């Protein structure tokens, strides 16, 4: 398991909101979009922030799939 990247899929309309949530945690992670039409996103983290970011992702108010 790669603890520096978290690949997720979500509805495309939620990509900007996900980015805003992650940006709100200054320096915690960086969001990049792989295929916006499919809602594929990579969240770049450090090994130290991995668990915290995962906790945020699984508690978002919209559905995501961790790939």
Euclidean distance between CA atoms 8 and 18, whole angstroms:
11
Domain boundaries defined on the chain: 5-66
Fold exhibited by the domain 5-66: Alpha-Beta Plaits (3.30.70)
pLDDT tens-digit readout, 5-23:
999 999 999 999 999 999 9
Q: Which residue has the higher pLDDT, 2 or 63?
A: 63
Which pTM value belongs to this model?
A: 0.90
Q: Which of 6, 21, 2 is nearest to 67 (CA)?
A: 6
Euclidean distance between CA atoms 54 and 6, whole angstroms:
8
pLDDT tens-digit readout, 20-67:
999 999 989 999 999 999 999 999 999 999 999 999 999 999 999 999
CB neighbours of residue 6 within 10 Å: 21
Residue 12 burial (CB < 10 Å; 0-12/13-18/19+)? middle
């Amino acid at each position: 398991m790669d603890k520096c990247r978290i690949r997720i899929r979500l509805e495309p309309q939620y990509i900007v909101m996900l980015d805003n949530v992650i940006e709100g945690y200054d320096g915690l992670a960086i969001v990049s979009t792989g295929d916006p039409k499919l809602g594929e996103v990579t969240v770049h983290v450090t090994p130290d922030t991995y668990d915290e970011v995962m906790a945020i992702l699984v508690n978002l108010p919209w559905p995501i799939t961790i790939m």
